[in-house]
Amino acid sequence: MLAAFARAQDADDPLSGLEVGERPEPEPPEGFEVVEVRAAALNHHDYWALRGVGLDAQRLPMILGSDAAGVTADGREVIVHPIVEDPDGSWSLLSERQPGTLAERVAVPSAGLVDKPAELSFEEAACLPTAWLTAYRMLFVRAGLRPGQRVLVQGAGGGVATAAIVLGRAAGLEVVATSRADERLERALELGATHAIRSGERVPARVDAVIETVGEATWAHSLRSVREGGRVVVAGATTGANPPGELQRVFIRELDVLGSSMGTLEELRELVRTCVVADVRPVIDSVRPLSEARDALARVAEGEEVGKLVLVP
C-alpha cells in the first residue's frame, strides 16, 4: 500500500528523511482493526518526528500521521482517536510506536473509534483528533472557560490556534487573536475573533485565559495579558520551550499555568457532537493527494498554512 513514512531522521534537513512509497499492509494485533483511510490531516508532530523528536530511531521506517477518518471492514464510517494505551499504562500517539495514518490503510485500537456523523466530510473529520481536540480540551477542560469570558489565542494561523478561535467564538467567548502577519489577522477576524492584534500589542482588556502554543516568542505577552487569578494553558512551544519564567509576576498575580496534551476519547466524542450541534466545521487550508506529502509537510514546516492540511490516499 502507498504510505508516507520516515526512512531516516535529520534535525537539520528533516524532509530528507521522508519517503512516499510502498509499505506492507497493516497486521492488526489483538484489539485492533484495519481502517481504510479516506482522509488524514498533517500536524507539526509529523515534522518533529523527522527531526528525531518523539520517534525512536530504532523504530524506523515508521509511517507518519496521527489523524484520520475512514471506513472499517464492516462499512462503519469512523474518526480515529490517535492515542494508543500501552500495556505498562503509558500512552503514545499513532506513528510513535504503531504505524500512523498517512497511508491507504491503518491498524488502530477498536476501542478508539468514534462514529463519523454524516454532517462532516471525511476531510473535515480527519482534522479533529489532534489539533481540534487539543484546542477543545484547552478551552473548556483545562481553562474551564464559560460563555461571555475573554480568551487570548496566541499565533493565529496554526492548527490549534485556528481551532481555538472557531470553537471559542461558537461557545460565546470574546476571542483576541495575535499574529505577526496581517493576512493571518484578517483571517482570524473572518473566523470569528472579536479582536486581532499584532503579537506583543496590548490586549483591549485583560483576558480570563490564554491559549499558548507558541512558547518563548509570546510567553511574556501571555503573562502580561491575563487577569489576576487567570490561567495560561500551554500545549506547545514552537518558538522555544525555555522562556524566562517571570515567577514574580506569576505568584504576585496568582496566575495558574496549566499544561495540556491532546484529549480523551470522550472529549473527542464531545467535540464531534459540538461540531454538529453548533454547525462548526474545521478550517482546511488545502486537500492534496497522499503522493504530495513532502510538499504538504514543507508547507506545515514553514508555517504557511491557515487551518489544516489534509492528505487523501
Give tens-digit pLDDT for 32-80. Answer: 999 999 999 999 999 999 999 999 999 999 999 999 999 999 999 999 9
Total domains present in the chain: 2
Asked whether residue 211 falls in the same domain as residue 296, the answer is no
Res 85: pLDDT = 87
Contact 104, 36 (CB under 8 A): yes
Res 138: pLDDT = 98
CA 44, 48, 54, 58: dihedral to nearest 10 degrees?
A: 130
Asked whether residue 24 falls in the same domain as residue 62, the answer is yes
Asked whether residue 123 falls in the same domain as residue 192, the answer is no
Asked whether residue 49 falls in the same domain as residue 23, the answer is yes
Residue 140 in any domain: the answer is yes
- Looking up residue 240, the CATH number of its domain turns out to be 3.40.50.720
- Give Cα separations from 309 to 69, 70, 86, 237, 288 (angstroms): 14, 17, 29, 20, 8
Asked whether residue 147 falls in the same domain as residue 80, the answer is no
Asked whether residue 90 falls in the same domain as residue 156, the answer is no
pTM of the complete model: 0.95
Query: Average pLDDT of 13-28?
Result: 96
- Looking up residue 68, the CATH number of its domain turns out to be 3.90.180.10
Res 192: pLDDT = 96
Query: Average pLDDT of 241-270?
Result: 96
Residue 117 in any domain: the answer is yes
Q: Is the pLDDT of residue 263 over 80?
A: yes
Res 37: pLDDT = 98
Asked whether residue 97 falls in the same domain as residue 216, the answer is no
Mean pLDDT of all residues in the chain? 96
Q: What is the pLDDT of residues 154-205, one digit of tens each?
A: 999 888 999 999 999 999 999 999 999 999 999 999 999 999 999 999 999 9
Query: Average pLDDT of 223-243?
Result: 95
Res 23: pLDDT = 98
Q: Which residue has the cell 503573562?
A: 223
Res 306: pLDDT = 81
Asked whether residue 58 falls in the same domain as residue 71, the answer is yes
Contact 232, 223 (CB under 8 A): yes
Query: Average pLDDT of 101-114?
Result: 97
Could you tell me the pLDDT band of residue 90, with boundaries at 50, 70 and 90?
A: confident
Query: Average pLDDT of 246-263?
Result: 96
Q: Alpha-carbon distance 118 to 50, whole Å?
A: 35
Which residue range forms the structural domain that includes residue 214?
130-259
Contact 72, 78 (CB under 8 A): yes
Asked whether residue 151 falls in the same domain as residue 73, the answer is no
